[in-house]
Amino acid sequence: MAQSLEVEVERILPGGMGLAHAGGKTVFVSLAAPGDRLRVRVEREQGKVLFASIEEIIAPSPLRIEPPCPYFGRCGGCDFQQLTYEAQLAAKAEMIRDCLYRIARLESVPEFAVMPSPDNWRYRMRATWQIDREQRTIGYYERGSRRVCDVVDCAVLRPVLQEKLEAVRATEWRQIPDELKHLDVVQGENGVSFAPPFDRFQTSELSLTVRGEVYQYNAETFFQINPLLLGPLIDFALGDVSGESVLDLYCGVGLFTLPLARRFKRVVGVEANPAAARYARRNLQQARLDNARVITATVTDWFRSDRASGPVDFVLLDPPRAGAESAVIKGILDLHPAAISYVSCDPATLARDLKKLTTGGYSVNSIAAFDLFPQTHHVETVVHLR
């Protein structure tokens, strides 16, 4: 029989689980709130760590609310709906601090707060919908599983995307190609783009204006999930930098490349996805910024090539969740830029890479965080190093 324990949740850990202790063991509890007294069921054990789920809330934390979404707990998408929005922001700040002290081993962490999203529901303008033909389900993977949770209404989707989810769900199954296992969708000011395209759901070209720059993209390229905080994110990531030469690593369709090209004489963007790199070039061209080049390559390959030589004043990097490869950190250190701005959607890999950068001689100057992903444990962090 599964082991049952009574625990009190101390805080939320990076990754979003609640931390508790029982019988000399550490207990990680999913979907918990700090201060909850719970009866939990141990799902698995790994060394001295027990992974558990809530069986009964004995005494709820004052930070706990009733999760409004009917799929909460089953759907793998939102794991913070049980927390008040203020508690979500506080937990995210604590998660970042925890990583910076424990993994990056910073002696002191500059003051920062997590900037709230103006809307913390119906904010998402990008999603991937999983499709299970056999079960006839469309939605998101269930928590810790590859089963598709059949989602009729997703409370974090922007209204236009929710309408599209309904339209996809209303499509007859015989119109949905057999090989379609998931569908990437993204919204712009002029519509919605789908990849791969099928039936009337096409990979159309979109655009969005942020801080006066026009960005074009489609569902085959990365674009940030939450449009509501992109202005402040760009403002902080760039700070007051300007100069001769800048590198924008993992540049996507050029979210930072365009404003950087207005401040620096020479810009090089590096992006592995050919479709995103093509859009970045086009976005620069349409903004009449001819002082920037975008290279289609992995950043590691680009650093291996001799094109990565020459003085660079500023490096901005915004890698995917896995963080920057070791060769990339080494490449940046070899270039000795006067300043670095690291934009990250994962505090743990950010901290791992900061440790290497600080060991290489840089210091953390300032930090800001942005709640691009309300109702989930995810958070965007920007760190300035000098």
Integer CA distances (angstroms), 186 to 123, 159, 170, 189, 221, in order: 12, 12, 19, 11, 9
According to CB under 6 A, which one of 100, 206, 270, 351 is a site residue for ligand SAM?
A: 270
**Residue 254 CB partners (closer than 8 Å, separation 6+):** 215, 248, 269, 279, 280, 283, 284, 294
> How many angstroms separate the CA atoms of 238 and 368, rounded?
12
As given in the structure block, the two tokens for residue 248 are 């924008």
Q: How far is the CB of 335 from ligand SAM (least distance, A)?
A: 16
Residue 75 DSSP symbol: B
- Tell me if 255 contacts ligand SAM by CB under 6 A: yes
Q: Which H/E stretch holds residue 259?
A: helix 257-263
Q: What backbone torsions phi and psi does residue 213 show, to the nearest 5 degrees?
A: -95, 140
Largest distance between two CA atoms of the chain? 67
Q: How far is the CB of 56 from ligand SAM (least distance, A)?
A: 39
Q: Which stretch binds ligand SAM (CB under 6 A): 20-28, 35-43, 122-130, 315-323?
A: 315-323
Show contacts with ligand SAM in window 61-120 (CB under 6 A).
none
Say if residues 269 and 239 touch (Cβ distance below 8 Å). Answer: no
As given in the structure block, the two tokens for residue 344 are 């990250």
According to CB under 6 A, which one of 207, 298, 358, 365 is a site residue for ligand SAM?
A: 298
Q: Which is nearer to ligand SAM, 118 or 320 (CB)?
A: 320
Q: How far is the CB of 222 from ligand SAM (least distance, A)?
A: 4
By CB under 6 A, the count of residues binding ligand SAM is: 18
Peptide bond into 196 cis (omega under 30): yes
Question: Catalytic residue numbers?
Answer: 345
According to CB under 6 A, which one of 213, 220, 318, 371 is a site residue for ligand SAM?
A: 318
Say if residues 250 and 318 touch (Cβ distance below 8 Å). Answer: yes
According to CB under 6 A, which one of 304, 320, 359, 363 is a site residue for ligand SAM?
A: 320
According to CB under 6 A, which one of 204, 242, 273, 365 is a site residue for ligand SAM?
A: 273
Q: Which stretch binds ligand SAM (CB under 6 A): 30-38, 77-85, 264-272, 350-358?
A: 264-272
**Which residues form the interface with ligand SAM (CB under 6 A)?**
222-224, 250-252, 255-256, 270-273, 276, 298-299, 318-320
